[in-house]
Amino acid sequence: MKKKLLIATLVLVLVVVVPGCASAPTGRDELPANDATPNDNILDFTAEIHDVLNALQNPGDWAILDVRTRQEFEGTPGSSQGVYGHGRIAGAVNIEWDRAVDGAGNLLPENELREIFSEVLDGRSVIVYCRSGARSSHTWGVLNSLGVDVLNFDGSWIEWSSAASADGNFPDREVVLSFTEAWTEAG
């Protein structure tokens, strides 16, 4: 399991996180329309905002997992930098990403991981997100190693909050807002 997780994490970092470090999405440009359903992406382990919206409309098939801190999840202003507003995706389960490791940074045994993530290990597919996609990529690797059908929303809260923001230019802003809880626009 550790080798599979290591390989999955390395691939994810190389393909998603490293290229994303070069230029953070501004969220100010209009996102193109996308009729894709979850898992129709070029990279079958990533989700885009339209995939998340589709998943939210199909809660019997999909769980949304927020791995940010409790303060970020509750929408505490100032808890995240680089966001356009504070809050969470409606109905998301909050399990902080670092619960999967011990004090030395080692991955916990499988039985402990299954207990920690039991709320989303119910047979549904999972979309995981954080603030920018880095912490959620770790959790993607953990859940993937447990055999879960999981996608990483690599735009995460930065993209979601941009789409919900009055300053953003997302064509379906009202839909995004309807699936947003504890929303406060960043000032």
Point out which residues pair with 88 in neighbouring strands.
Answer: 181
**Cα gap 88→85, rounded to integer Å:** 10
Tokens of 56: 């939210």
- Smallest Cα–Cα separation from 18: which of 161, 154, 162? 154
Distances (CA, A) of 171 to 31, 84, 146, 175: 7, 16, 36, 9
What radius of gyration, in Å, describes the C-alpha atoms of the chain? 16
Q: What angle do CA 168, 170, 172 make, to 5 degrees?
A: 135
Complete edge-to-edge strand list for the sheet that includes strand 62-66: 46-47, 150-153, 125-129, 62-66, 93-94
21 is catalytic: no
Q: Which of 130, 134, 150, 158 is catalytic?
A: 130
User: SS3 for 56?
Assistant: helix
Dihedral of the CA atoms 171, 139, 124, 76 (nearest 10)? Answer: -50
Catalytic residues: 130
